[in-house]
Amino acid sequence: MRRREFIVLMAGTATWAGSLSAQQSRKTWRIGMLETVAPRLNAANLEAFRSGLVALGYNEGQDFNLEYRSADGYIERFPELVGELIQLKVDVIVTRGTPAVLAAKAATSTVPIVMAASGGPLTSGVVAGLAHPGGNVTGLSAITDELTAKRLQLLKELTSGLKSVAYLHDMANPVAAPQWQELKMAAQSLGIQTAILDVRKPEDIATAIEAASRRGDAIVVGNDAVTHASRQQIVDLTKKHGTLAIYATREFVDVGGLISYAVSYPDLYRRAAGYVDRIFRGAKPADLPVEQPTKFELVINLETAKALGLTVPPALLARADELIE
């Protein structure tokens, strides 16, 4: 063999061996997801998170795998589920909702935790500060408190004769009380009576909505594990009783609910992928500021409005980001 051919052959062998070694040593990250509902009910958010990772250069099955755990509407399951994720030695835990992130924080001080969405992470004690979270938790806030009063105002626009409104939420959730206070203050200024529909588990939903319908209340539906997991039931019952309701995520409107005003949760999940990427590259959660939502959506289901005999004011139609017909 000629000397030049030998050198080319050896160089090619070294390149092939180096490439093989790099492939063998390439890390496949394990991402735990602690969620309120099963993947089929969380498809849009899950797809946004996956797409966010792919856009950053990660390929599922090669660079990362997801370990998904759902509480299915029962927040008492979160400690057990996060224990499973820790046993699997996940590299990061992505959470939705305050009860989920609190359960994860109580279970580990070493595994990084990224909030895809959390209501009031500062007031609930999840982080020490928004600019400097400290500890092992960072991510995105859904600023749920501030939007509650806005939803009441939208209901008032829909029906000028609104006299009473009920707040449907799991009141054991740490974010519920601040939202309730916001709703009460807004209602008082508008001369509207208020009531609480405290739902601690999915089995409480039917009785709560029936009680509201008997009183003639409109309903502001909060966003928590119980309501999120029961969204189809809630929508069906409000339509059955002819009850006006506004929702804290567009997912309710997608299955027939009347109206929602909320942050874009798919946008938050996409941005959560960026936090995961930075952590994989060596950043510490304590040094990554908690970010606020930047995208909000007003969505109205015109078919449901028609079924309820409701004429949506033109000014409200003009402000809607999406109309479902």
pLDDT (tens digit, 0 to 9) for every residue of the chain, 325 residues total? Answer: 444 444 444 444 444 443 333 343 479 999 999 999 999 999 999 999 999 999 999 999 999 999 999 999 999 999 999 999 999 999 999 999 999 999 999 999 999 999 999 988 888 889 989 999 999 999 999 876 779 999 999 999 998 889 999 999 999 999 899 999 999 999 999 999 999 999 999 999 999 999 999 999 999 999 999 999 999 999 999 999 999 999 999 999 999 999 999 999 999 999 999 999 999 999 999 999 999 999 999 999 999 999 999 999 999 999 999 999 8
43: Cα separation from own chain's centroid: 12
203 DSSP assignment: G
Instruction: Please list, in sequence order, all residues whose beta carbon lies within 8 angstroms of the beta carbon of residue 237, skipping any fewer than 6 positions away.
Output: 205, 206, 209, 210, 243
Per-residue burial over 83-95, b = 16 or more CB atoms within 10 Å of its CB, e = otherwise = eebbeeebbbbbb
> Distance (Å, rounded) from C-alpha 141 to C-alpha 136?
16
List phi, psi (to 5°) of 47: -65, -40
Domain boundaries, the chain: 9-142+265-294, 144-263+297-324
Indicate the class that CATH gives domain 144-263+297-324.
Answer: alpha beta
pLDDT of residue 144: 67
Tell me the pairing of strands 137-141 and 164-169. unpaired
Residues 29 and 280 sit within 8 Å (Cβ to Cβ): yes
Give me 278's structure tokens.
């930075």
Cross-strand bridge partners of residue 116: none
Q: Do 9-142+265-294 and 144-263+297-324 agree at the fold level?
A: yes
pLDDT of residue 19: 36
37 DSSP assignment: S
> Distance (Å, rounded) from C-alpha 125 to C-alpha 122?
5
Q: Which amino acid is at 130?
A: L
User: What is the CATH number assigned to the segment(s) 9-142+265-294?
Assistant: 3.40.50.2300
> Distance (Å, rounded) from C-alpha 96 to C-alpha 71?
11
Considering only CA atoms, which of 272, 241, 245 is closest in space to residue 35? Answer: 272
Give me the residue label for tokens 């960072």: 138
Q: Residue 79 — left, alpha, or beta (φ > 0 → left; ψ -120 to 50 → alpha)?
A: alpha
Q: How many CB atoms lie within 10 A of CB 187?
A: 20
